Amino acid sequence: MFAKLKSQLHAQTLVAGDSGYDEARKIYNGMIDKHPGIIVRCTTAQEVSQAVRLAREEKLEVSIRSGGHNGAGLALVDGGMVIDLSGMKGIAIDAGKQQAKVEPGNTLSEVDQATHEHGLALPSGIIGSTGIGGITLGGGLGYLSRKGGLTIDNLLECEVVLANGDRVTANATEHPDLFWALRGGGGNFGVVTSFTFNLLPVKNVYAGPMFWPMEKAAEAMRFYDKVTKDAPDDLYGFFAFLIVPSGDPFPEHLHGKNVCGVVWCYTGDLTGAEDVFAPIRAFGPPILDFVSEIPMPALNTMFDQLYPPGLQWYWRAHYVREFSEGFIAQNIAFGKAIPTMHSTTHLYPIDGKVHAVSNGDTAWANRDARWAQVIVGVDPDPGKATEVTNWCKSYYEALQPFAMNKGAYVNFMMEEGAERVQSSYGDNYHRLVKIKSKYDPDNFFHINQNIKPE
């Protein structure tokens, strides 16, 4: 069957035994080792449409790959067809309108570089190698969330190949139900072959990490909570527990030490940035302070070298509404027990402009949270996979009493079952099921955080 498909498909294809097949089935998470039947490297929407129709005829399971960053490995499918969009790299910027039309194969770093040339930026994630496709459809949290909302809050239009192979445009007036579902509903509704975004006028920022010793962690969490609650939308910071990497640019006396810290991003008037940070610097004082003026793309790629593709990743996530004393104590206990240098936890703020949109306005249903916390067990050595996974799971279990609900940000989930997906969409789930039933009644797109049709 795959030989027949190879001859029919217009796009480049790879099957087991082809040179490049093993490279093409590698994704960001080194724990994932799937063997697709055929990888279809689409470069146009027509090629995607043909791949969808042929996969349907052959009754093949289909996965969609953009940047390949999904922790659970949902970009790949064993034995089925991978629709690989990583070659779709078009980006067109309309500087006058402050908009960008972006194909799904771009990484965040590629989008950043292109927009930065025009003094513009898209609110999105914190690691440059992440794919624009998956992060957008799941929501999109990052340094500019407080100032500009989620990535989906800046999404104006999508071009989509539906489960029957038809191509449609979804925006506020054309297929508005589909457009609503695409903003948070992940890859459930079709293959998005183009995104049109609104951009923000952001060029340089006053940003970077600031660390405090573990002995100050409880005070630091309370201080951070207070500062960010009352701050203007230009001041963003995500809180973290981590181990300081052993090497430049970190001072030697901190190498290998467990610390807590915040990675800040200030987007206001840069001439006043020192004044904004004066009271923050007065707390502690910090044992490391790398906060300074930098170009936005430098911030968005600051941690890329530390987290290259191919490491072992296991993660768990939940939503947090407040820093109670119990929550603080558990985070400190697990922050002291981080198993490897790459393992960490991040608390990504959900505030500012994310709160300006209501839960029912898009499929993304947890805007009443204040943070999305992700706990990541990471190491280059496959021999440490069990250790990092166990730390992550027990940390997650210990925080369950403090979680806002039973859901999580779908982009931070492993394969955790149907109930968890439903909880993540809360009151929006039934509307999503209706839209799924209309656009994909036989659940053709199910290698994802799956919303099952009626």
Interface residues with ligand FAD (CB under 6 A) are 28, 63-71, 74-75, 85, 104, 125-127, 130-131, 133-135, 137-142, 186-187, 191-192, 307, 411, 447-448
Q: Return the C-alpha torsion angle 221, 368, 192, 453, nearest 10.
A: 130
Q: Which of 193, 197, 96, 103 is nearest to 153 (CA)?
A: 197
Q: Which helix (H) or strand (E) holds 155?
A: strand 155-161
Distance in Å, CB of 198 to ligand FAD, minimum: 17
Q: Which is nearer to ligand FAD, 216 or 449 (CB)?
A: 449
**Is 441 strand, coil or helix?**
coil
**At 444, phi and psi to the nearest 5?**
-60, -45
Nearer Cβ to ligand FAD, position 66 or 99? 66
Minimal distance in Å, beta carbon 252 to ligand FAD? 27
For the CB of residue 311, give the shortest distance to ligand FAD in the complex, in Å.
Answer: 9
The residue sitting closest to ligand FAD, measured at its beta carbon, is 134
- Picking from 275, 274, 265, the residue whose alpha carbon sits closest to that of residue 228 is 265
Phi-psi region of 124 (alpha: psi -120 to 50; beta: other; left: phi over 0): beta
Q: Round to whole Å and give the CA distance between 452 and 435.
A: 10
Write down the least CB distance from residue 65 to ligand FAD, Å. Answer: 4
Single-letter amino acid code for the residue at 267: T
CA distance 416 to 450: 11
- Indicate the residue among 354 and 399 with the shorter CB distance to ligand FAD: 354
The nearer residue to ligand FAD, 213 or 295, going by C-beta atoms, is 295
Closest approach, Cβ 285 to ligand FAD, in A, equals 28
Q: How far is the CB of 140 from ligand FAD (least distance, A)?
A: 5
Nearer to ligand FAD, 136 or 428 (CB): 136
CA distances from residue 18 to 3, 6, 37, 77, 83 in whole angstroms, order as listed: 12, 12, 12, 18, 17
- Supply the minimum distance, in Å, between the C-beta of residue 112 and ligand FAD: 12
Is there a contact between 454 and 434 (Cβ–Cβ < 8 Å)? yes
- Shortest reach from residue 409's CB to ligand FAD, in Å: 7
Q: Which is nearer to ligand FAD, 77 or 244 (CB)?
A: 77
Query: CA-to-CA distance for 45 and 99, rounded, in angstroms?
Result: 21
Contact 254, 287 (CB under 8 A): yes
Question: Which residues are paired to 373 by β-bridges?
Answer: 318, 347
Q: What are phi and psi of 32, to 5 degrees?
A: -90, 130
Within 10 A of 306 (CB to CB), how many other CB atoms are there?
15
User: Is 300 or 428 the residue whose CB approaches ligand FAD more closely?
Assistant: 300
Nearer to ligand FAD, 335 or 349 (CB): 349
Bridge-based pairing of strands 81-84 and 62-65 is parallel
- Token pair 């799937």 is found at 34
Least distance between ligand FAD and beta carbon 118 (Å): 22
Q: With respect to ligand FAD, which residue has the nearer C-beta, 108 or 328? A: 108
